[in-house]
Chains A and B, each alone.
Chain A
Amino acid sequence: MRRLLTFFLLLLLARGDAGSFSVLPSSTAAKPAVIVLSDTFTDADLTNLTAHTMNVGPGWTAGAGSMSILSNAVTSASGGYYYSDSGKTSVTLTIDVSLAVGHAADAIVRATDANNLWLIESYNNTFTLYERNGGAFTSRASSAPTTAGSHTVRVITRANTISATFDGGSAISYESATFQNTATKHGISDGGTVTNGIDNFLVLAP
């Protein structure tokens, strides 16, 4: 009988999640981030993103314009706003951008449509956070890195704060991002000037 009681006690201790009568606290270790959207844009040239299967995610929605694949990266002749629903509003988004002088590439977070979203744009030696609200653009924060060349853009959304870095520096952070703060679609955009300019789209949720 004593052995049986000891066995059940050890079982309870080992589980640690034994409902309302747990004798051990649940693990306090941070949960690893989960990939909610991912795309390396590996597909045939000129495949529109709407016809392309993401590595992870429900697929691309064309909010406006046209974006397609060329040499396993995103290209756009006329510009576009494309996003995918992650189901999460607090995310860490990463894209690689490759830009010539005068070319722009953008990360999109918290979109509901092409007229209502947040843009983080790399363009002409500026790195700018735009609120696009009802179609109107408002700059909320900006820094001044050298944008030509290949770079990594990272955007973090948490509650009412949107922060972004360009190659890990040139940080911008806006702490009053109440607009669209429950929207869960995130994506990419450009002004029609980018060729093979966006790659390795990754969205993690904590």
Chain B
Amino acid sequence: MKGWFISLLLFAAPVHAASVRARVLTSWAGTGKTATDAFRPALADGYRLASWVDTTSQKAAGLPPSPNLLVIEVVCDDMTLTDIQGDPSYLVLWTEQSKLQAITAGQASAISSYLWLKGVPQAAIDSALKLDGTAQEAEVSLANWLRVP
């Protein structure tokens, strides 16, 4: 009887998706001509995010930049993050769980490949990015490089 009651409680309890924080590489969308068509991260158009903030802070006068990329910090539910991780339009650079972990060869390759597909020369990738430290260090080096006009 007790077990049955506990099972009923578990079944009846609402399921809340866990909230996760991550930094994601995306492109700029919009023309900037109106508030409804402001320059904005393309990721914010495609996914339901609880919140996001531009952590690259490129100068507004130079938007969209070349390459057309920026890093944003997002807060979303874990299912949305899983969807973003599977979407080749975006690249998740780290999550709260992974940001201090050493970057793997696979992650370094994924960042290089993503940037190369966006038209970034391999020489620039090799010289500008720190891909032998933590995921957070790689993200910081990438954001710094994207910030320079």
Contacts and interface: CB of A to CB of B under 8 A. Distances in A.
Interface of A: 104, 119, 121, 123, 128, 130-131, 133-134, 136-144, 170-174, 176, 179, 191
B95 to A, nearest CB: 19
A139 B50 contact: no
B34 to A, nearest CB: 7
Given A131-B60, A133-B60, A136-B33, A141 B52 contact: yes
B44 interface: yes
B54 A174 contact: yes
A173 B31 CA distance: 23
Interface residues of B, number: 22
Interface string B48-72: 1111111001001101000000000
A142 B33 contact: no
Interface stretch (B16-24, B35-43, B84-92, B128-136): B35-43
Interface of B: 30, 32-35, 37-41, 44, 48-54, 57, 60-61, 63
Nearest to A143: B51
Contacts of A139: 30, 38-41, 44, 54
Contacts of A123: 35
B53 A191 contact: no
The majority secondary structure among interface residues of chain A is: strand
B63 A143 contact: no
A141 B54 CA distance: 6
Contacts of B50: 143-144
Nearest to A178: B57
B38 A144 contact: no
The majority secondary structure among interface residues of chain B is: loop
B44 A136 contact: no
A70 B35 CA distance: 25
Nearest to A139: B40
Nearest to B63: A138
A124 B33 CA distance: 19
A119 to B, nearest CB: 7
A139 B45 CA distance: 12
14 contacts: A128-B35, A131-B60, A133-B60, A136-B60, A137-B33, A137-B35, A138-B39, A138-B63, A141-B53, A142-B53, A144-B50, A173-B53, A176-B54, A176-B57
A174 B53 contact: yes
B60 A142 contact: no
